[in-house]
């Protein structure tokens, strides 16, 4: 209940546009602000106690609970609530907390990259023959360390590791976590948006290294690969963290999409958007058009149509950062389509099914959008290898379906 000391207004200055006070001793009465809201003002000397009263449907005034402006929901308290509601178990809560911790650490490393001499190349190539950046390597280490320390992860598969790794430190849970520790790393040195992407699959004990057992490391590795190669349909949770002008952590547990913004004052992720829904359509397209000449003719026609829809339509706007996380996040909020098609040089496009396309498709579907390879739903695709690439078209449902028609 708010207690305020207020000057005693004269009756002539009485205004109902703000809270009104009457000069009356030890009496309480209702001051009408408008027809639906009434305020009960109780005068005690110079102190006036006021509470907001609302009319119930029956016409009776009822007390409403005052929401504190200081009440913030952190990712931690939100996760605990999901656990209390039975949406996730305690083990998954721990895994997700450790991922958020990794993201905070990477956010800080990305932000200070220039100062800490973390820009530039590492001097080695990853499993895909790509030049690893220093921050790719460091972010991978940070992610892996946080997941190991959680003690709840059985297998981790990363863009930066040749094969999935069995985590010996796991003593309960054994979740399978796939991740791209730093996405859009070519943008780092220019301080442009980057991100981390992750997906979590059901535990599977088959892949664990049993020291009593006579299994060789090779067999364990084989079991890990089989366990990690699951279709996106099996995902329990997926999310990403975007390192941009704000650090944004977006998460789905299969019951809607939620977004948390890192508050630099507390170092905590704060819930800022609930149940995000992607617009059904949107006039923004994000494709690397530098590859236009390498594309299939049907795709060229589609892009040509977006740019020149004829006299009746307005051309789409082009936006392309070159960081999937950044391009996806904008698409999620504003609508439109993001695409990384196959081309004459890369028959399966560039993006990886397991830790880029599947988690993003799970998120977009949870927001009412669509993720497709042009013909089929990404979440239905069964990976045949860890670093498998697939074409990706993702975004507003109507935009992705329009593209599918062009490609059919
Ligand atoms: P990563 O940095 O993890 O290798 O991913 C880069 C990806 C993705 O983020 C982005 O959408 C795409 O590469 C950009 O590729 P182009 O430079 O070929 O457009
Ligand atoms: Mn990536
Ligand atoms: Mn990456």
Residue 166 pLDDT grade (very low, low, confident, very high; cuts 50, 70, 90): confident
Identify the residue with better confidence: 282 or 54.
282
Identify the residue with better confidence: 22 or 309.
309
**Residue 259 CA, ligand 1 centroid: distance in Å:** 23
**Residue 340 CA, ligand 3 centroid: distance in Å:** 15
In the numeric block, the tokens 């990886």 are attached to 352
Identify the residue with better confidence: 209 or 199.
199
Neighbouring residues of the ion ligand 2, judged by CB less than 5 Å: 180, 183
In the numeric block, the tokens 């070159």 are attached to 322
pLDDT at 9 over 60: no
Distance in angstroms (rounded) separating the CA atoms of residues 170 and 166: 9
Those residues whose C-beta lies under 8 Å from the C-beta of residue 358, and which sit 6 or more positions away, are: 178, 199, 231, 232, 235, 238, 378, 379, 381
Nearest C-alpha to atom 17 of ligand 1 is from which residue? 322
Given ligand 1 and candidates 287, 338, 340, which is best to mutate, with the most ligand atoms within 8 Å of its CB? 340
What mean pLDDT is reported for the chain? Answer: 84
Residue 12 pLDDT grade (very low, low, confident, very high; cuts 50, 70, 90): very low
Nearest C-alpha to atom 3 of ligand 1 is from which residue? 183
Please compute the mean of the pLDDT values over residues 189-207 and round it to a whole number.
86
Residue 167 pLDDT grade (very low, low, confident, very high; cuts 50, 70, 90): confident
Residue 223 pLDDT grade (very low, low, confident, very high; cuts 50, 70, 90): confident
In the numeric block, the tokens 């650490």 are attached to 105
* Closest atom, ligand 1, to C-alpha of 180: 3
**Residue 242 CA, ligand 1 centroid: distance in Å:** 14
Structure tokens given for 392: 């990706």
CA distances (Å), origin 170, targets 12, 176, 207, 278, 401: 74, 11, 12, 37, 42
Phi, psi of 152 (to 5 degrees): -120, 10
**Residue 136 CA, ligand 3 centroid: distance in Å:** 6
Work out the angle between the directed axes of helices 397-407 and 297-307 (0-180°, nearest 10): 140
**Residue 183 CA, ligand 2 centroid: distance in Å:** 4
Distance in angstroms (rounded) separating the CA atoms of residues 92 and 79: 9
Q: Picking from 192-196, 207-211, 231-235, which range would have the lowest pLDDT averaged per residue?
A: 207-211
What was the pLDDT predicted at 395?
98
**Residue 365 CA, ligand 1 centroid: distance in Å:** 22
Nearest C-alpha to atom 6 of ligand 1 is from which residue? 184
Ligand 1 shell residues, CB under 6 Å: 159, 180, 183-186, 288, 322-324, 327, 340, 350
Identify the residue with better confidence: 220 or 344.
344
Q: Picking from 6-20, 88-102, 263-277, 352-366, which range would have the lowest pLDDT averaged per residue?
A: 6-20
What was the pLDDT predicted at 217?
56
pTM above 0.95, yes or no: no
Which range is most confident: 12-26, 30-44, 312-326? 312-326
* Closest atom, ligand 1, to C-alpha of 290: 19
Beta bridge partners of 42: 28, 49
Please compute the mean of the pLDDT values over residues 365-373 and round it to a whole number.
98
* Closest atom, ligand 1, to C-alpha of 183: 3
What was the pLDDT predicted at 32?
38
Interval 203-217: pLDDT, tens? 765 555 454 555 565
Counting ligands in written order, which one lies closest to the CA of residue 159?
Answer: 3
Residues 166/210, Cβ–Cβ less than 8 Å: no
**Kind of pairing, strands 47-55 and 61-63?**
antiparallel
pLDDT at 286 over 90: yes
pLDDT at 1 over 50: no
* Closest atom, ligand 1, to C-alpha of 351: 7
Interval 113-157: pLDDT, tens? 989 888 888 877 777 777 788 999 999 999 999 999 999 988 899
Identify the residue with better confidence: 337 or 64.
337
What was the pLDDT predicted at 312?
80
Given ligand 1 and candidates 185, 324, 330, 345, which is best to mutate, with the most ligand atoms within 8 Å of its CB? 324
Residues 327/318, Cβ–Cβ less than 8 Å: no
Counting ligands in written order, which one lies closest to the CA of residue 240?
Answer: 2
Nearest C-alpha to atom 2 of ligand 1 is from which residue? 184
* Closest atom, ligand 1, to C-alpha of 182: 3
Please compute the mean of the pLDDT values over residues 239-258 and round it to a whole number.
98
Interval 43-90: pLDDT, tens? 444 454 444 444 445 455 556 677 787 888 999 999 999 999 999 999
Counting ligands in written order, which one lies closest to the CA of residue 355?
Answer: 2
């Amino acid at each position: 209940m708010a207690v305020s000391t207020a000057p005693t207004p004269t009756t002539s200055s009485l205004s109902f546009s703000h809270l009104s006070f009457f000069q009356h001793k030890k009496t309480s009465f209702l001051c009408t602000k408008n027809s639906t809201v009434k305020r009960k003002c109780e005068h005690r000397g110079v102190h006036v106690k006021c509470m907001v009263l609302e009319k119930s449907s029956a016409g009776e005034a009822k007390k409403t609970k005052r929401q504190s402006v200081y009440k913030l929901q952190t990712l931690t308290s939100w996760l605990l609530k999901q656990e209390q509601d039975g949406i996730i178990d305690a083990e998954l809560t721990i895994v997700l907390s450790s991922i958020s911790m990794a993201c905070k650490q990477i956010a800080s490393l990305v932000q200070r990259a220039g100062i800490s001499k973390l820009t530039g190349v590492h001097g080695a190539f990853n499993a895909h023959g790509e030049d690893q950046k220093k921050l790719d390597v460091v972010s991978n280490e940070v992610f892996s360390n946080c997941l190991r320390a959680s003690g709840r992860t059985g297998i981790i598969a990363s863009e930066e590791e040749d094969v999935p790794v069995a985590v010996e430190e796991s003593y309960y849970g054994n979740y399978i976590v796939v991740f791209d520790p730093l996405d859009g790393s070519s943008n780092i040195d220019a301080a442009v948006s980057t991100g981390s992407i992750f997906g979590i699959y059901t535990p599977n004990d088959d892949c664990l290294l049993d020291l009593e057992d006579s299994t060789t490391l090779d067999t364990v590795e084989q079991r890990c690969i089989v366990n990690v190669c699951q279709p996106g349909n099996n995902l329990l949770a997926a999310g990403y963290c975007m390192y941009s002008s704000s650090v944004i952590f977006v998460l789905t547990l299969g019951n809607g999409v939620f977004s948390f913004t890192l508050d630099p004052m507390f170092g905590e992720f704060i819930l800022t958007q609930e149940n995000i829904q992607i617009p059904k359509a949107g006039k923004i397209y994000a494709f690397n058009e530098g590859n236009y000449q390498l594309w299939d003719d049907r795709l060229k026609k589609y892009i040509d149509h977006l740019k020149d829809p004829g006299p009746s339509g307005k051309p789409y706007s082009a936006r392309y950062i070159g960081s999937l996380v950044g391009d996806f996040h904008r698409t999620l909020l504003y609508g439109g389509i993001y695409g990384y098609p196959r081309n004459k040089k890369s028959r399966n496009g560039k993006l990886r099914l397991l830790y880029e396309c599947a988690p993003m498709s799970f998120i977009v579907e949870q927001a009412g959008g669509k993720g497709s390879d042009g013909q089929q739903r990404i979440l239905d695709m069964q990976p045949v290898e860890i670093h498998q690439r697939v074409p990706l078209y993702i975004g507003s449902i109507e935009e992705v379906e329009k593209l599918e028609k062009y490609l059919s």
